[in-house]
Amino acid sequence: MPSFRAVLLCLVGLSAPVVHAQIQADTVRSFMSFRAVEDTLNRAVLTAHHDITSSLTQIPGSFVYDFNTFAWPSAWSIHGLGPQSVQLYFGAIPFDDLLTGRSRYDLLPTALLRSAEVNPGLPGGVTGIQTELRTVDTSQPHTQLHYQAGSHKLQRVTALHAQQRSRLFDQQGRLQGLFAYGGASDAGDYPGSRLQRQRQLLLRSRYQRTAWSLELVYLHNQRRIGAHSGVLGAEDTRYNRLIAGVIGERQTRRTVRNDVLATFKTQILTASMYLTTQSGRYASVGASARRFGGSLLRDFKFDRNRLRVRVDAFTQRIPAGSALPEGHQASLIEFQLGDSLQLPSGYLLAQAGLRNHTGDWSPRGRLQWGASISALDPYVEVSYSEGPAVMPGWGDYLVNKGTGAGRVLQAHTGIGLRMGRLTLMPYGFVSDAQDVPDYREITIDSVQVVQDTYTALGAGIRLDLAAEPDRGVYAAVNAGFIETGRTSDNAKRILPQWALSGQLGFRMALFTGDLRLNVSVRGRSWSAMTSRTLHAPTGLLVIPSQERSPIPASYTLDLAVEGGIRTATVYVLYENMTSGTGLMTGNELVADYPLPAGQLRFGVYWPINN
């Protein structure tokens, strides 16, 4: 493993002053920000999502393995790759599970986030998702209340309070403090799916001067949730909640996680350090882990070029537990150098990196071109990366005999056509994966690591009809097709051959804007597939065994009604409203885990300046 002293020397060298390339500090936003002007009706719908994967279905070339149930481990796939290829970030913190490696969308403070951004250049994964808190920038104390209730005794609440002072110790500067608390419970759709306990605490303090800022963030999560291994029953009997049973009804997964982040930002440099601890348990198997890491980001500007240097590093250890070898260690060091060149009608971005994951070095690279020519917005991107890392084991539930990371070569392109309020974008992609590790179910609850080689070809079209700022009809449709050719026999069709998602709605404002209304119908449709299934001990979505039932072609349809009265927003959602009716007995996206039928949810979102 490379010396962390050498990495520290690199960080110090990068932080040396540079006279010719100073970038003005962003004195409003940092890695963890909170902005009151984004607390609008359009943003409030994010509080109704179970997690951020619900907002990613419109990303071209992507697919969401969804449970449509709060606190369950939904996962996101893009360009035909497995969910484990995605590296999730919360600010500067890699927000993957320290024990299993899966992205923990379910532990993010969803109601407090800005919209997630997909960034293929983030360290640690084949592609990345960046999430940040919204900003509160107000001279008055600010409070936000989020409440949600629904079917299966769902109760969910999030409360936030923020204050700021313009002077500290008679010095010019701005001190902001933020406190947020969240809790939830849910009886679940089937036995063995109950959310027994969820608690979340967020603290943030930031001191900001003209030329620099210092920010401290603490996020605590604890959760205990039912972890059954699938619903029993042949064909349509599994959708009858009165007679259907589950495998492992009494099993639960327990998680306790703490994240601490410190970010120092100047006019030329952003430096972050974080500490993450986590413990997890399923049945009699569990472990705890500790990760310490940091990142350094520096921009240089020369004429039309913007050069970016980034260094990320962490070290991780398993101090105790029976699920993983005690004392097991892992580490990551990644160096990135990127250059963005402004062209007369567009830009050219080049990025090169070198990654060391637990002693193994690998290169990565990315080249992207985009332009804006009249009403056309074409883009092309090519990237190369090491495959995802996989966990070394999980007691007797998961076996890893030792596999390499493989490699992934991707290319995707598209062209946007703007015609007034209408935007049309056809797109296509190809992903070539060689010896990429994945998880395959052998029997129920028993999984082994395999290596998969395949080429995924996809194409699609996205259509967006934007509404006027406060009124009008809007629509979005994303239709995609994918074909995967495999040279290994690890899976048949874990992604649908075609998938469709979209929404149609209208907004209107009454009484000079005091009353705002937003009504929409949202839906998804997919072709037949084997899909993935849930490995209950770890929460990973894995290639299913022969014991699992294939998933037929189906669809979901949701109705969402939002009403804004001055600053408050009330919303009602009726999800999967045709399931369990004469039109459809039931549906599912994850093998042997039916989606809740006719699920009703009600929520209130209320920001208060007090």
Helix (H, G, I), strand (E, B) or coil at 56: coil
> What is the mean pLDDT of the segment spanning 526-542?
95
More confident residue, 13 or 361: 361
Q: What pLDDT digit, counting tens, does each position of 82-135 carry?
A: 999 999 999 999 999 999 999 999 999 988 888 888 988 889 889 999 999 887
Predicted local distance difference test score (pLDDT) of residue 418: 92
List Cβ neighbours of 288 (8 Å cut-off, separation of 6 or more): 277, 278, 279, 280, 318, 319, 320, 321
Find out whether 182 and 200 touch, Cβ atoms under 8 Å.
yes
Predicted local distance difference test score (pLDDT) of residue 398: 86
- Confidence bin at 34 (pLDDT 50/70/90): very low
Displacement of CA 265 from its chain's centroid (Å): 25
Predicted local distance difference test score (pLDDT) of residue 11: 42
List Cβ neighbours of 6 (8 Å cut-off, separation of 6 or more): none
Domain that includes residue 520, residue range: 4-609
Provide the CB-side half-sphere exposure for 321 (13 A, CA).
Answer: 25
Q: Locate tokens 């290319």: which residue?
A: 411
DSSP string, 120-136: TT-TTSSEEEEE-B---
Find out whether 135 and 34 touch, Cβ atoms under 8 Å.
yes
Displacement of CA 62 from its chain's centroid (Å): 12
Query: The dihedral of CA 438, 440, 444, 446: what is its sign?
Result: negative
Nearest residue to 198 via CA among 150, 157, 250: 157
More confident residue, 244 or 325: 244
Query: The dihedral of CA 448, 404, 127, 311: what is its sign?
Result: positive
How many distinct structural domains can be found in the chain?
1
d(CA 505, CA 476): 9
> What is the mean pLDDT of the segment spanning 348-367?
92
**CATH code at position 316:** 2.40.170.20
Find out whether 482 and 495 touch, Cβ atoms under 8 Å.
yes
565, pLDDT greater than 90: no
> What is the mean pLDDT of the segment spanning 193-205?
93
Poorest-pLDDT segment among 256-260, 311-315, 560-564 = 560-564
- Confidence bin at 564 (pLDDT 50/70/90): confident
- Confidence bin at 65 (pLDDT 50/70/90): very high
Q: What pLDDT digit, counting tens, does each position of 156-190 carry?
A: 999 999 998 877 666 777 888 999 999 999 999 99
Poorest-pLDDT segment among 178-182, 323-327, 585-589, 600-604 = 323-327
Predicted local distance difference test score (pLDDT) of residue 515: 85
> What is the mean pLDDT of the segment spanning 380-390?
92
